[in-house]
Amino acid sequence: MPAPDRPVVTRVAPSPTGSMHIGTARVALYNWLYARHTGGTYLLRIEDTDRQRSTEAAVDVILEGLAWLGLEPDAPPVFQFARADRHRAAVAELLAADSAYPCWMTVEELAAERDIARAEGRAIRSPWRDRAPPEGVNLPHVIRFKGPLEGETIVDDLVKGTVRFRNRDLDDLVLLRSDGAPTYNLAVVVDDHDMGITHVIRGDDHLNNTARQSLIYQALGWELPTFAHLPMIHGPDGAKLSKRHGAQAVGEFAEMGYLPEAMRNYLARLGWGHGDDELFTDAQAIAWFDVKDVVKAPARLDWNKLAHVNNHYLRQADDNRLADLVTASLKKAGTSLAENGRARLLAVIPHVKEGAKTIVELGELCRFALAERPVTLDAKSAALLTEETRARLSRLAEHLAMEPDWSPPALTASLRSFAAADGVGLGKFGAPLRAVLSGGLPAPDLAGALTTLGRDESLGRIKDALSPAE
């Protein structure tokens, strides 16, 4: 346990695989929240010891993902691979202290031992643990950790509580591969120590590793950090979250039109709670968050709730920002804006954003306003234009043209007064009016649609529909 007066240092340590799992995003968020809550520091380490998969592009995906989420680290990232010499030096220390040993087992021998060990229900053991080196000196070998065979290792986890492991169930893990490359379990310990990490907050898929890592800390004579293992995020069906559940990577959520602040709120609430609070600001989350309140059980991703949270933030978002996002989203879908597109977007967004769950959906709701005259009507809309409704729309156009105040309340009143004057209910001309204004695309209420389009465009669209193209 770190000294209580030492300032908190947390870290998120993803491996660059080409995408950033949403679970990683939540781990980052919790580390960030805890660091902010305690006035500590939040760091990033790229675990790039797997040279095959670790590309610059894969690293960028992580950096961009964190930036998008607003969870950038407080210092430049540490690259694990670059610290390989330091890791090897730590192994030299372990070797000198008789806490590690070279192992010359061949892959075949290892496979055979694995089979026997499994059959006997025990951990694998290397014969080289207590044996002198072989004759031929330069044979390839790995360096293994020499852990205790008796007693138990206790992990005091902030989330899971006290977890006990019998040391005899723990095998002597490989520290250095036969090519001299450090392994993950060694590297994390050395890096977390060197980076001064006080709280290791990570996915609970690492809980089993923790016992063996604790042993390494002890062998090196280092103070243990506090551990907190977070449950994983599953798909709606309870299985491990994967592509087939709709999305898995942070970038996919961004592309689908979720707002980063919505993701933060949703992810924070998934596996952690503060009474009945559902929607909260970053400041509130920081004030309330504590790792010890994290739930123990894995949580399932719920698209409905995410949509609800996203809608909440969409309503609050600045319209200019939304216009930017919608523009980008439409562009991705192959629609580029006309010259007055920006102005039209800004006019329509306030009227439709309450009904949108995502940016993509918001874009769909904006489409009717972006259409160029003459607006093409879909079949259903065209069918509404009978002789009778045309005549009524014509009278309505005259009526609206005289309306001095082109605002929602005035237009609502105007539509009512027209209905009265024409001796019909709103239902008689509401649908056709909507049809000629929107062409059949989704649109807000009539007054909202008229306001969005403006006087000229609205009257123009009505007029277009009255003189059908021959």
By CB under 7 A, is residue 304 in contact with RNA?
yes
- Count of residues binding RNA (CB under 7 A)? 83
The least CB distance from residue 234 to RNA, in Å, is 7
By CB under 7 A, is residue 161 in contact with RNA?
yes
By CB under 7 A, is residue 169 in contact with RNA?
yes
Q: Are strands 152-157 and 161-166 parallel, antiparallel or unpaired?
A: antiparallel
Q: Site residues for RNA, window 451-470 (CB under 7 A)?
A: none
By CB under 7 A, is residue 194 in contact with RNA?
no
- Segment interacting with RNA (CB under 7 A) among 26-34, 204-212, 333-341, 391-399: 204-212
The least CB distance from residue 351 to RNA, in Å, is 9
SS3 content of the chain, % helix, strand, coil (to 5): 55, 10, 35
By CB under 7 A, is residue 142 in contact with RNA?
yes
By CB under 7 A, is residue 220 in contact with RNA?
no
Determine which helix (DSSP H) or strand (DSSP E) holds 392, and give its type and residue range. helix 387-401
Which of 205, 223, 388, 398 is close enough to bind RNA by CB under 7 A? 205
- Segment interacting with RNA (CB under 7 A) among 27-35, 71-79, 389-397, 430-438: 430-438
Q: How far from the centroid of its chain's Cα atoms is residue 205's Cα? A: 19
The least CB distance from residue 468 to RNA, in Å, is 22
3-state helix/strand/coil string of 301-364: CCHHHHHHHHHHHHHHCCHHHHHHHHHHHHHHCCCCCCCCHHHHHHHHHHHHHHHCCCHHHHHH
By CB under 7 A, is residue 354 in contact with RNA?
yes
Please, which residues have CB within 8 angstroms of residue 351's CB and are 6 or more apart in sequence?
444, 448, 449, 451, 452
- Segment interacting with RNA (CB under 7 A) among 99-107, 256-264, 339-347, 388-396: 99-107
DSSP character string of 33-72:
HHHHHHT-EEEEEE----TTT--HHHHHHHHHHHHHHT--
Find, among 174, 123, 152, the residue nearest to 218 by Cα.
152
Which of 286, 385, 431, 459 is close enough to bind RNA by CB under 7 A? 431
Which of 278, 319, 422, 464 is close enough to bind RNA by CB under 7 A? 278
Residue placing its CB nearer to RNA in the complex, 62 or 323: 62
By CB under 7 A, is residue 415 in contact with RNA?
yes
Round to whole Å and give the CA distance between 130 and 414.
Answer: 95
To 10 degrees, the CA torsion angle through 223, 87, 146, 51?
130
User: Is 160 a known active-site residue?
Assistant: no
Round to whole Å and give the CA distance between 197 and 156.
Answer: 16
The least CB distance from residue 309 to RNA, in Å, is 8
Round to whole Å and give the CA distance between 405 and 222.
Answer: 76
Q: Would you call 10 helix, strand, or coil by DSSP?
A: strand
Whole-number CA gyration radius for the chain: 32
The least CB distance from residue 332 to RNA, in Å, is 23
- Segment interacting with RNA (CB under 7 A) among 61-69, 84-92, 281-289, 426-434: 426-434
- Segment interacting with RNA (CB under 7 A) among 59-67, 167-175, 256-264, 455-463: 167-175
The least CB distance from residue 460 to RNA, in Å, is 19
Which of 302, 388, 405, 456 is close enough to bind RNA by CB under 7 A? 302
Residue placing its CB nearer to RNA in the complex, 253 or 272: 272
Please, which residues have CB within 8 angstroms of residue 55's CB and are 6 or more apart in sequence?
16, 18
The least CB distance from residue 261 to RNA, in Å, is 16
Which entry of 240, 243, 296, 463 is annotated as an active-site residue? 243
Q: Which two tokens stand for residue 462?
A: 């009505």
By CB under 7 A, is residue 80 in contact with RNA?
yes
Q: Which residue has the tokens 């989330």?
A: 159
The least CB distance from residue 228 to RNA, in Å, is 12
Q: Site residues for RNA, window 367-396 (CB under 7 A)?
A: none
By CB under 7 A, is residue 140 in contact with RNA?
yes
Round to whole Å and give the CA distance between 403 and 420.
Answer: 16
By CB under 7 A, is residue 305 in contact with RNA?
yes
Yes or no: say if 259 and 314 are a contact pair by the CB < 8 Å rule. Answer: yes
Which of 72, 412, 422, 463 is close enough to bind RNA by CB under 7 A? 412
Q: Quick one: DSSP state of residue 445?
A: -
The least CB distance from residue 232 to RNA, in Å, is 6
Round to whole Å and give the CA distance between 470 and 459.
Answer: 20
Q: Site residues for RNA, window 34-73 (CB under 7 A)?
A: 47, 49-50
Yes or no: say if 49 and 278 are a contact pair by the CB < 8 Å rule. Answer: no
Residue placing its CB nearer to RNA in the complex, 354 or 456: 354
Catalytic residues, which ones?
243
